[in-house]
Structure 1
Amino acid sequence: MSQSWKQDPHKLLVIPGPIEVADDVLLANAHPSMSHVSPAFAPVFGNCIKLLRQVLYTKDGQPFLVAGSGTLGWDAVGANLIEKGDKASLTSISRISLEVYGADVTQLTAPVGGSPTKEQITEALKKNKYKVLTFTHVDTSTGVLSDPKMIAETVKEVSPDTLVVLDGVCSVASEEIRFDDWGIDVVISATQKGLGVPPGLSVLCASQKAIKVFEHRKTPPSSYYISWKKWLPVMKNYEAGTPSYFATPPVQLIYALETSLKTIMEGKVSLEDRFKMHREASQKFKKEMQGMGFKTVSLSPETSANGMTAVYFPEGFKAPDILPKLLAKDIVVAAGLHKDIKDKYFRVGHMGVTVVDTSRGDMDHVINGIKEAFAEAGYKKST
């Protein structure tokens, strides 16, 4: 296939992930079948590891790329870092429990649309000695943005031995994450959101501190498939250019990931400008929604994600009134997800190529489509 290949016309996918995929990334995903231990494949895998470090601003963080979903990252945290009886603290917008791995879990609460405060985190850390503190950087269900720098600094001040685990499934490559500078120990992610690649790869980066905790655990890892004992040598070998094997990686997805990471780190738009473009697109979209008289689920600009927005329906409207009308305009947005407000709002993703490639006109198409859909449904802004 020619490098000028274009994907077929399709409905614009603007949910909080999976997201739209650039033509060159989708073409790379169509790479001919080849051996996962081919000498030609090893440097591609190794380059993904190196480029991922750059995206996360880390020099010695250890990336892991394993076939699976973002949720598999939580299995990696639980299986490799948690031992029975360890205490773990989860913020209210971190939906994954580590209890299945034997952790004694404390849940920090916050109102819908908000996130735990520095005072809450400090108080919790002073009450117990936690093995890990986990938080969701961007909550996919509400569009709430946490402050990772504040959280990591608070942990360092109050409980420096506690590992800081960031759920970045909906934030990597759309939100700034300064892994080394902020003192993050684990970032969990996946390919189908800000990284702009089809689903299928679990993406994780662990600090050397986290690796040492793993190496000094008293009991064996509580998983066979996601054990770092199995995967760490594989990652190191691939980065060194040596084919390696524990379980077969999704070869084509690795090619697609390298293509996207090259664009992110070596393309026309710098990483810093990429984050700026996401901020500007987010502000534009939210301003347009507010101009229609709509409220966002996030309670303030400081707790609002840049890669997605959750918007309350106006009184008298629900998803069946609007989403089918958008679908008829070839626009796919997402219904509500949070159990407490599920029927009261909708969600729009604005990240990756939809934001960075302005020539596509995606954002204007979505905004205009939403305005038209509500007008067709009989909505009139109250004065």
Structure 2
Amino acid sequence: MAPPSRNYNSTASPSVVDRLSLVSGHLAGRNQTNISNLSAVNQSRTMSSQPPHPTLLIPGPIEFDDAVLKAMSHYSESHVGPAFVSTFGDVLSMLRKLFQTSDPASQPFVLSGSGTLGWDLVASNLVEAGENVLVLGSGYFSDGFADCLKVYGANVDEIKAAPGSRPQLPEIEKALKEKKYKVLTVTHVDTSTGVLSELKNLSALVQKVSPETLVIVDGVCSVASEEIAFDDWKLDGVVTASQKAIGCPAGLSVSMFSGKAIKALESRKTPPASYFASMKNWLPIMRNYEAKKPSYFATPSPQLVHALHEALTQILQKPLAERFSKHKEVSDKIKQRISALGLKQVAGESADQAHGMTAIYLPENVKGTDLLPILAKKGVVFAGGIHKEIATKYIRFGHMGASILQPERGDVEKALTALEEGLAECGYKKP
């Protein structure tokens, strides 16, 4: 029997009803301001051509750059026409730079869908029914990944950490030595807690103890705000979405898989357990698009792909290291202000704290259902908590992309001021 600290649990994931309930509670706090207040709400956005609106500072979708939104208004065009094929090909090439891979055997995918589609890609293509998967649990979204894998028949073990922490290398090593796993999954930043998982040493451990195991990363809330060195860290898959730090409207599932993962796909004994999410169906399409050759399996969204092209172009105009450093710099300042207010973070250890969001414990006498509407009236939208064990005890502040890299917008200072004033209106007095 596994020791208590390891906390394997194949049945503890929240049910669909539980998950819906948590999300509905999160949404309940996201009241928008009345239309009559919007001009005052948007005073800090004078440089933007966007209509006045509350500043969206949840952990995705984020605020978008004007040029990205303009790119999305591209006129209608054929998804197999030469102009669009060229644009899509450039997007796939730029993704290689974003993920930091130069290995020609690796393959980027861009599919119409949400970040959750990435889970299906992994579960239906890289794992066959009855194969073992080790899920490192750090919150609501790692639980969701485990649920998805089970749907496709995987034999899932979870190492679940307490809220605000992550599984540690010794317990992961012990698990890898006890059983052969086809795949290990880790949520780089769990959006429910703001917990950042370390990837470099984790992957090195897997290479040492169980080199045949595929290392798959849920990077939905980390790609483009946290460093991911795909080749250097020997990662086998990273799945993400367009609407977070990449800075493109929601609707695209974005992923990168290694040559090792592609070989695992091609050596399956059974066909992929999905049709739309079949990487065997999409692999030749992606390869053709990247080679600037028209191809078709299912219709992409040209407008979203144009927006993604603009977002990636902006990201790659400067060194990635500079982008990651800026997110860390602003995140550190935000966390210092949070601490100065006498508040604690869900992720208690600094090494476990994400740089694109902060999950903040509320004072005992303050309820999120009271505070979030007050913030909304001040023109700032934060998110409620969704971790099943602590959902009512905290709120979440997303700070990534344009809100960080364009300080002239004033988004961060506006949010921190609103938070301090809102807490005071709820009766909180900082120490």
Please say if 1:241 is aligned against 2:286. Answer: no
CA distance in structure 2 between the aligned counterparts of 1:248 and 1:283, rounded to whole angstroms? 42
Among 188, 212, 225, the residue aligned to 2:276: 225
Please say if 1:271 is aligned against 2:314. Answer: no
One-letter amino acid of the structure 2 residue matched with residue 330 of structure 1? G
Report the counterpart of residue 129 of structure 2 in structure 1: 84
| 2:316 aligned counterpart, secondary structure | helix
CA distance in structure 2 between the aligned counterparts of 1:234 and 1:51, rounded to whole angstroms? 17
One-letter amino acid of the structure 1 residue matched with residue 374 of structure 2? K
The number of equivalent residue pairs is 377
CA deviations on 1:137-196 (whole Å, 9 max, x unpaired) are: 000000000001111111001000000000000000000000000011000100000100
Where do 1:332-347 residues align within 5 Å?
332-347=381-396
> How much has 1:270 moved relative to structure 2?
2.5
Answer whether contact 2:366 2:423 (CA < 8 A) is retained.
no
CA distance in structure 1 between the aligned counterparts of 2:116 and 2:329, rounded to whole angstroms? 29
Where do 1:181-220 residues align within 5 Å?
181-220=232-271
CA distance in structure 2 between the aligned counterparts of 1:139 and 1:42, rounded to whole angstroms? 34
> How much has 1:5 moved relative to structure 2?
7.9
CA deviations on 1:249-288 (whole Å, 9 max, x unpaired) are: 011000000000000002xx43111101100111111110
| 1:169 aligned counterpart, secondary structure | coil
> How much has 1:105 moved relative to structure 2?
0.5
CA distance in structure 2 between the aligned counterparts of 1:145 and 1:63, rounded to whole angstroms? 24
Where do 1:15-94 residues align within 5 Å?
15-60=58-103, 61-93=106-138, 94=142
- Bigger mean CA deviation after superposition, 321-330 or 132-141: 321-330
One-letter amino acid of the structure 1 residue matched with residue 319 of structure 2? S
Question: TM-score, normalized by length of structure 1?
Answer: 0.97
Report the counterpart of residue 252 of structure 1 in structure 2: 303
Question: TM-score, normalized by length of structure 2?
Answer: 0.86
CA deviations on 1:74-112 (whole Å, 9 max, x unpaired) are: 110011111111100001121212111111100002111
Answer whether contact 1:29 1:255 (CA < 8 A) is retained.
yes
Please say if 1:114 is aligned against 2:165. Answer: yes
CA distance in structure 2 between the aligned counterparts of 1:112 and 1:5, rounded to whole angstroms? 38
Please say if 1:324 is aligned against 2:367. Answer: no
Q: Structure 1 residues 221, 291: closer, same or farther in 2, change over 3 A? A: same
| 1:54 aligned counterpart, secondary structure | helix
Among 341, 361, 379, the residue aligned to 1:292: 341
CA distance in structure 2 between the aligned counterparts of 1:226 and 1:324, rounded to whole angstroms? 39
| 1:36 aligned counterpart, secondary structure | coil
CA distance in structure 2 between the aligned counterparts of 1:241 and 1:56, rounded to whole angstroms? 21
CA distance in structure 1 between the aligned counterparts of 2:287 and 2:159, rounded to whole angstroms? 36
Answer whether contact 2:385 2:395 (CA < 8 A) is retained.
yes
Answer whether contact 1:196 1:260 (CA < 8 A) is retained.
yes
| 1:179 aligned counterpart, secondary structure | coil
CA distance in structure 1 between the aligned counterparts of 2:339 and 2:275, rounded to whole angstroms? 49
Answer whether contact 1:174 1:351 (CA < 8 A) is retained.
yes
Please say if 1:370 is aligned against 2:419. Answer: yes
CA distance in structure 2 between the aligned counterparts of 1:5 and 1:242, rounded to whole angstroms? 37
CA distance in structure 2 between the aligned counterparts of 1:213 and 1:59, rounded to whole angstroms? 20
Segments of structure 2 that go 5 or more residues without pairing to the other structure are 1-46
Answer whether contact 1:325 1:373 (CA < 8 A) is retained.
yes
Report the counterpart of residue 280 of structure 1 in structure 2: 329
| 1:133 aligned counterpart, secondary structure | strand
CA distance in structure 1 between the aligned counterparts of 2:50 and 2:230, rounded to whole angstroms? 35
Report the counterpart of residue 353 of structure 1 in structure 2: 402
CA distance in structure 2 between the aligned counterparts of 1:320 and 1:206, rounded to whole angstroms? 41
Answer whether contact 1:5 1:27 (CA < 8 A) is retained.
no
Please say if 1:134 is aligned against 2:185. Answer: yes
Please say if 1:165 is aligned against 2:208. Answer: no
CA distance in structure 1 between the aligned counterparts of 2:61 and 2:100, rounded to whole angstroms? 24
> How much has 1:321 moved relative to structure 2?
2.0
RMSD of equivalent CA atoms: 1.0
